[in-house]
Amino acid sequence: MHYNRIAREAKTFAVLLTAGTTILIGTSAQGQSKPIASAPSTSTAPAASTRRAFVKPPDLELRKKLTALQYEVTQRAATETPFRNIYWDNHEPGIYVDVVSGEPLFSSLDKYDSGTGWPSFTRPLEPANIRTKTDRMLGYQRTEVRSAHADSHLGHVFDDGPRPTGLRYCMNSAAMRFIPAAQLEADGYGQYASLFKAGTAAKAAKH
């Protein structure tokens, strides 16, 4: 079941030349055409015992750390090409964090196939790490999603998603880094490991 209007929208793609690298950037609405009033406040994340400091590095450091596409998306609000990005079809369990700051954003437990060609989620893993703002870049109103600490452009959120939230967080893969469930402890996100252990146990109990 698809929750988008991608088949009815005209798409154009611009070629960005950054540091001699050719990048395809989609200037479509990410299969997005309807704004929402606000983001949900329910978190699927367990309470963290300690709080990490998520900081945005200086621009010079960012240019060295990020690929040209990651920089264009997170710092200049570009949109990556649908179906040609790393996470749109990723089904592995784990979490998605801001590629700039590392702040936790979304979980695979809330990921679904929206049919748009971009990774889509029904809600954020940590609502406190997400903020929204009105975006009129395409001539009409949308709701942009940015990370709270690094102020990275992530994508947009719409109210045409599935239950239980009815929301579709349509994100850019280039704005995120995926951490598999098996590596959460090693990468410093151990507080989220229980989410996937519980999911595995529940699945086993059904068989």
Catalytic residue positions, numbered: 170
Spell 136-164 as b/e; 16+ CB within 10 A means b.
Answer: eeeeeebbbbbbbbbebbbbbbbebbeee
Task: Tell me if 66 sits within 8 A of 172, measured CB to CB.
Answer: no
| Pick from 54, 5, 65: nearest CA to 30 | 5
Contacts of 163 (CB under 8 A, 6+ apart): 122
Instruction: Dihedral sign for Cα 118, 122, 124, 125, please.
Output: negative
Q: How far apart are the first and last CA of the chain?
A: 26
Q: Give the single-character DSSP code of 69.
A: H
Bridge pairing between strands 176-180 and 13-18: unpaired
**CA–CA separation, 154 vs 144, rounded Å?**
8
Q: Which amino acid is at 135?
A: D
